[in-house]
Amino acid sequence: MSLIATLARMEALREGRARPLATVRHRHLSERPMVFVPLTTAGEAGAPLGALFGTDREEPTLLVVPQPRDRDLRFAFLAQLAQGMLPYLEGYADDVDVEVRKGKDPETGEPVEVERELCRDAPQLLVPNGSGVRYVRLLGRSMRFRRTAEEAPDEPYPVPSRVPLLGRWMTHFGERALTPGSCLLVSMTDLLSRHWASGQSGLEDQHLGALLAWLDPPPGVHGSEAALRAETARDERGLLECPPAGPATDPAFDNKLLAPAITRYDAGLSGAERAVRDLVGSQLRPTWDHVWRGLDLLRELPPGDRVAARWEGDRWSYTGHRDRLRAGEPPQPKRDDAVTAAAKLVRRETDQVRLDAHEALDDPLVMAERRLAGEAFAGEVVAVEMAYSEGRSPRPRPLVSVSTHDRPHVEPGTRVFRRLAGKAQEAQVAAAEPGLVVVRLVNQMGRGRVPAEGTVPEPGDVVCLTAFEHDPRPAAPLPPPEETPWTHGGPPGEAAMGASAPDPHTAEDYL
């Protein structure tokens, strides 16, 4: 946590409500996101208990597994989930822009024009918290290697059709969520805590109800009190009024109500299924409402300038997965081979650096953190002295003196950048002393001997220079290497093939 964020948390504590950590919205929000609130069975891996999902705030779809240890009931749940979700997930696949790029013919090497489709928009899956994101990944893993009766007639426990497909989509979304700043699958707690500081720790922020209590406490109530209420208040049955946002359930709920209700279901009592359904629904609904409330709050923030460009990366990712499915590729491997894994890691590191740069450029509050860290500085131009490069056709290399309160970690020779008409203008530090930095501008001043109008700041202007690059990655929005379909030259990898074998079965149900 940066010192500025720490201060913000302390302000929140003192004022009794959350304080801003950003002045713009740094994440893309779909106009029609799908909210997915899953619940899982305690102690079991991948045995869903139920879920609320949908794109309509007023009418979520409720799915419940009345006995999570029953394989048939779980499969039925997954089938219904696939039926409900796939139309949304696949619904953006056919609305495309066609990009024409220069490329090479793979056989002759002749330059040719290559057409590539890019989906104009993409689906967005919103879950309540970080464990929700991990659960999507887990569900994806549990489904994608299953086989349907059509695919494998000998399969002893075939899943209903389309379940493996949902598994592959969920896997893709779960994988994409590891990319910093990506928005195909995001958690509400991450979104909210990126933009506001509560008066509690990051750990406590994982409780969506408590985090919202800080953002939006009832009138006259201090955030910490409202958050405590969200964490602990119980009704007369002993149930949390604001149940945890899942996928884990409240143990008291399991022990006092769910377990007896499931026992009644097992005994075949009439109305028992309905009772389990109502119980699970009662635990999901508050979280469902919270996710939408969070969305309301986020929508009040204006989007940052670079958010749309980052969303384009998500659209490429979506399109790439669409292409892989269409090309009939096998499911994503269980584990990446070493090369792919390393490539992904490097890729995510660059993405993080790039995201950090973009957020700072979009938002003075984020830039403030970089300034405090000595990675950028801002101040008033106090002098501009014209100078030229040496050589036969001298180019303008004006010296700009900036008076600053910041203490940047720069020394003569350090490359620094400032924003100029949507581009980065580069400069070199010529001298740095406390309170004053002199930089030499080196580009973006036009072709002539005289700098183009407006390309050199004037005394009295306020400028902000960063010691980090503004766009530390080639701008071409190509899909990351791991997402390049085979049909577009991406290697499937040897290991990938062997690693996609279906899971073994045991005759007894595995729970």
What string marks each residue from 434 to 453 as x (binds another protein by CB under 8 A) or -?
xxx-----------------
What string marks each residue from 194 to 223 as x (binds another protein by CB under 8 A) or -?
-----xxxxxx-------------------
Judged by CB under 8 A, the residue of 355, 368, 384, 442 near another protein is: 368
Q: 201 or 352: whose CB is closer to another protein? A: 201
Q: Which of 168, 88, 182, 92 is nearest to 136 (CA)?
A: 168
Cα atoms found within 13 Å of the Cα of residue 218, Cβ hemisphere only: 8
Least gap, CB of 387 to another protein (angstroms): 24
Q: Following DSSP, what letter does each residue of 345-390 receive, concatenated?
A: HHHHHHHHHHHHHHHHHH-HHHHHHHHHTTSEEEEEEEEEE--B--
3-class secondary-structure state, position 26: coil
Collect all residues with Cβ–Cβ distance below 8 Å to 149 and sequence separation of at least 6.
155, 158, 161
Token output for 313: 């990366």
Judged by CB under 8 A, the residue of 231, 273, 312, 471 near another protein is: 231
Q: 419 or 488: whose CB is closer to another protein? A: 419
Cα atoms found within 13 Å of the Cα of residue 271, Cβ hemisphere only: 0
CB atoms within 10 A of CB 349: 11
Contact 200, 372 (CB under 8 A): no
Q: Does 117 bind another protein (CB under 8 A)?
A: no
Q: Does 405 bind another protein (CB under 8 A)?
A: yes
Q: Does 263 bind another protein (CB under 8 A)?
A: no
Least gap, CB of 491 to another protein (angstroms): 21
Q: Does 11 bind another protein (CB under 8 A)?
A: yes
Q: Does 141 bind another protein (CB under 8 A)?
A: yes
Token output for 307: 């958010």
Distance CA 207, CA 227 (A): 9
Q: 201 or 350: whose CB is closer to another protein? A: 201
Contact 318, 97 (CB under 8 A): no
Q: 231 or 471: whose CB is closer to another protein? A: 231
How far is CA 24 from each of CA 195, 295, 455, rounded to the nearest angstrom? 8, 14, 27
Judged by CB under 8 A, the residue of 121, 155, 216, 254 near another protein is: 254
Q: Does 394 bind another protein (CB under 8 A)?
A: no
Q: Does 32 bind another protein (CB under 8 A)?
A: no
Judged by CB under 8 A, the residue of 126, 133, 136, 138 near another protein is: 138
Least gap, CB of 248 to another protein (angstroms): 8
Instruction: With contacts defined by CB under 8 A, name the span among 11-19, 111-119, 186-194, 309-317 that binds another protein.
Output: 11-19
Number of residues that bind another protein (CB under 8 A): 76
Judged by CB under 8 A, the residue of 112, 114, 233, 259 near another protein is: 259
Judged by CB under 8 A, the residue of 192, 376, 432, 439 near another protein is: 376
Using CB under 8 A as the binding rule, the residues of this chain from 338 to 367 that contact another protein are 360-367
Token output for 229: 């209420």
Least gap, CB of 357 to another protein (angstroms): 12
Using CB under 8 A as the binding rule, the residues of this chain from 450 to 509 that contact another protein are 462-464, 466, 503-506
Q: Does 255 bind another protein (CB under 8 A)?
A: yes
CB atoms within 10 A of CB 247: 25
Tell me the backbone φ, ψ of residue 4, rounded to 5 degrees. Answer: -65, -40
